[in-house]
């Protein structure tokens, strides 16, 4: 199972990448870096919270995992 710290770090890195992309897209569509940045920031905050919750739910689900067997002493 992943630690909460690992999940949060992954979420932060992913959202920073997404933020850069969304600012660029928002700027391209609106012509305004402020409006594009605002849209991107709101999207990032919502996406961050959703991603963390999603990862924590999946961390508790055992389906599809392969058990790692410890070697016999």
pLDDT for residue 1 is more than 70: no
* Ordered DSSP codes for 14-65: HHHHHHHHHHHHHHHHHS-HHHHHHHHHHHHHHHHHHHHHHHHHHHT--TT-
Distance CA 16, CA 9 (A): 11
pLDDT for residue 71 is more than 90: no
pLDDT for residue 68 is more than 80: no
Query: What pLDDT digit, counting tens, does each position of 12-67 carry?
Result: 898 899 889 999 999 999 999 999 989 888 988 898 899 889 888 988 888 887 77
| Stated pTM of the model | 0.63
């Amino acid at each position: 199972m992943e630690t909460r710290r690992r999940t949060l770090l992954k979420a932060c890195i992913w959202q920073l990448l997404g933020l850069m992309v969304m600012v660029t897209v928002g700027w391209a569509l609106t012509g305004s870096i402020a409006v594009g940045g605002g849209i991107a920031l709101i999207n990032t905050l919502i996406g961050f919270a959703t991603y963390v919750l999603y990862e924590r739910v999946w961390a508790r689900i055992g389906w599809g995992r392969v058990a790692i067997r410890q070697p016999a002493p």
